[in-house]
Amino acid sequence: MKPLYPLTFKPQPKSRIWGGHKLRTLFDKPFSAAEKIGESWELSAVQRNLSIVANGFLKGNTIEELIEVYLGELVGDRIYERYGVEFPILVKLIDAAETLSVQVHPDDATALERHNAYGKTEMWYVLQADKGAGLYVGFNRHLSPAELYERVQRNTLTDALNFVAVQPGDMFFIAPGTIHAIGQGIVLAEIQQTSDITYRVYDWGREHNPATARDMHLDLAIDVIDYSKKTTAKTPYHLRPNTPVPLARSSCFITDLLELDRPMARNLADNDSFIIYVCLDGCATLRYASGNHILPKGQTILVPAAIADINIIPEPAVRLLETYL
C-alpha cells in the first residue's frame, strides 16, 4: 500500500436556526451565503455524517473506510483495539449568531444503556466574541430536580444558570452532566467525543413557536444533570509561545495549544496515536518524511499515527489546537 500522509476532509456545513455567516467570512468556508450555518463538522465519524478525504490519492474515501484498510497505522494500535473502525473524535467550528438551547450530554454509561453510543465530553476554545457575549456553564446555585423542572415550566431557568463573559482565547471543558449553552455572538472551536447525543432542556421560547420548535428532552436530562453549584467555569492556562500549552486532559482526548513564531518539531510516536491539528489563526507548513502540507486558517488536518515525526513551520506565525489520545 502507498504510505499514509496528513489528511484533510471536506467540511460539512450544518444549517441551524441559531447559525450565522461567520464561518464563511472568517474561515473562507465554501458555504452558501443564503443559509444560516451554525456548525462546520471538520472531522466526523458520526454515522450518516462521515468525513470524506479532500486531498491526495485517498480523496473521496470516508474516515471509516480508511480505518478499515489502515487500522492502527492511521489511528494507533491501542486506539484501534479500543474503538475499532469508529474514529473517536469529532471536531467542529461553531458560529452562534443566536443563543443555543440550554442542554446537557450524558456520560458513556448512560449513552451506552440508552442509545448504544458514546457519551459526550467536549471542550470549547473561543475564537471570536462580540461585546458582552458569554456562555452559560453550570448553575450559580445548588438546584434540585424538582426546582429545575419548575423553573423550566415557569421560564425562570436562566436565573439559576452561571453566565460567563468571554473573550477570544478562553477555554472551557464541558464534562457530561454539565448544563450549558453557547451565547449569541460567539465563534468557537469544539473538540468532543464522537457523539451526537444532546438533551435539550430549555430553548428560550423557541420550543413554543411552531416555526422554530425542536424536540425537547427534559425527561431524559433530569437524571443526568449535575445539580451542584459551578464555582469555576473557564479553564485557566498560561500561554507560552513556542511551547505546547495543556488545555484539556481526559481519557477521551488530550488537547494542547501551540502558538508558534518559529519552527517546532513534534514526535508523538510513543503515544501510539493520530494527531489532529486545527489552525485557529495564521498559517503553517507541516513537513514530514515524504512531503509537506500548507495548513491555512480554519483548516483541520489528521496526521496518521504511522507518521512518527512532523515539523511545524509557521508562515510567519500560527496558532493551533493539537489533539490526540
Active-site residue set:
200
- Can you state the percent helix, strand and coil of the chain, rounding each to 5? 20, 40, 45
**Please, how many CA atoms are within 13 Å of residue 269, restricted to the half-sphere of its CB?**
7
- Tell me the one-letter amino acid at 176: P
DSSP class of residue 99?
P
Alpha carbon distance 274, 304 (integer Å): 5
Place of cell 473502525: 85
DSSP class of residue 135?
E
Angle at CA 248, nearest 5°, toward 162 and 78?
Answer: 135
Q: Are strands 275-288 and 300-303 parallel, antiparallel or unpaired?
A: antiparallel
Alpha carbon distance 301, 71 (integer Å): 18
For 146-195, the three-class secondary structure string (H helix, E strand, C coil) is HHHHHHHHHCCHHHHEEEEECCCCCEEEECCCCCEEECCCEEEEEEEECC
DSSP class of residue 98?
S
Q: Look at residues 92, 168, 174 and name the one whose alpha carbon lies nearest to residue 133.
A: 168
- Tell me the one-letter amino acid at 26: L
* Chain center to CA of 16: 16
Q: Give the largest CA-CA distance in the chain.
A: 62
Q: Which residues contact 264 (CB under 8 A, 6 or more apart)?
A: 242, 258, 311, 312
